[in-house]
Amino acid sequence: MISIKTPQEIVIMTEAGRILAKIMKQLMARVEPGITTRELDKVAEDLILSYGAKPAFKGHEGYPTALCASVNQVIVHGVPSLYKLKQGDILSLDLGLIWKGYFADMAITVPIGKVELEVLRMIRVTKKALKRGIKKARPGNTFGDIGNTIQRYVESQGFNVVRELCGHGIGKELHEDPQILNYGKRHTGPKIKSGMVFCLEPMVTVGDWKIKKSKDHYGFETADGSLSAHFEHQMVITQNGAKILTVVL
């Protein structure tokens, strides 16, 4: 069942999203060649605690850290490690927090130093796919309309969308109904209604869309070893469309 959030809940989740966006901005400023993803995790957790919030991911289904740090072919849920970022890598930062009992969740992919032009293009396409999906997130449309829009745009640019991972509802739980696919057919799935709060998160690959588990047993990576990008925003649906919660005002 897809829940409709109350005005009071939306106020709290708006606060949570704003705090998370500020933290992500501060975290991104620390990303540079030579830093380890474990060091970035420490920065992320310290920032979350400094705002009076709690890490959303740490301990969730046994996940060991506050930050998901996915490098190159790792799509999502990469566990921070002693790996030192180097020129030419790409890094997906996925971070969540709990604020007054409600969850916030967002992700961004950043290049480390100078990367190949085609990789930069994939990152831009993934970010733009999210924007296009958000435009479709309005009352009267369906979740299939969102997935279809994301898929058609990504594939028109010569890339692929991951099929086995998806966006999700969010609230008092990190993952709530519905599951929101990044592919599909128009006019299918539940209708979008005012008061829904959910996360859209296109995951895009240079190569094939098939995935496999990473050696850390938490991450998912491309089966063919191709590079991937991931962007995620949390939003609330209003009568006029989607209002993004994970932005710095």
pLDDT digits (tens, 9 = 90+) for 111-167: 999 999 999 999 999 999 999 999 999 999 999 999 999 999 999 999 999 999 999
| pLDDT, average across residues 196-205 | 98
Q: What percent of the chain has pLDDT over 90?
A: 99
- pTM to 2 decimals? 0.97
Query: In this structure, are strands 241-244 and 228-230 parallel, antiparallel, or unpaired?
Result: unpaired
Mean pLDDT of 3-11: 98
Residue 174 token pair: 């990190």
pLDDT higher than threshold 80 for residue 248: no
Reported as a single tens digit per residue, the pLDDT across 24-59 is: 999 999 999 999 999 999 999 999 999 999 999 999
Averaged pLDDT for residues 88-93: 98
Per-residue confidence (pLDDT) for residue 29, from 0 to 100: 97
For the chain, list the domains and their CATH numbers: 7-244 (3.90.230.10)
Q: With H, G, I as helix, E, B as strand and everything else as coil, classify residue 176.
A: strand
**DSSP code of residue 54:** E
Instruction: Quote the pLDDT of residue 249.
Output: 65
Residue closest to 161 by CA, chosen among 152, 174, 173, 171: 152
Among all chains, which residue has been given the structure tokens 């010569």? Answer: 158
Name the phi and psi angles at 84, rounded to 5: -90, 125
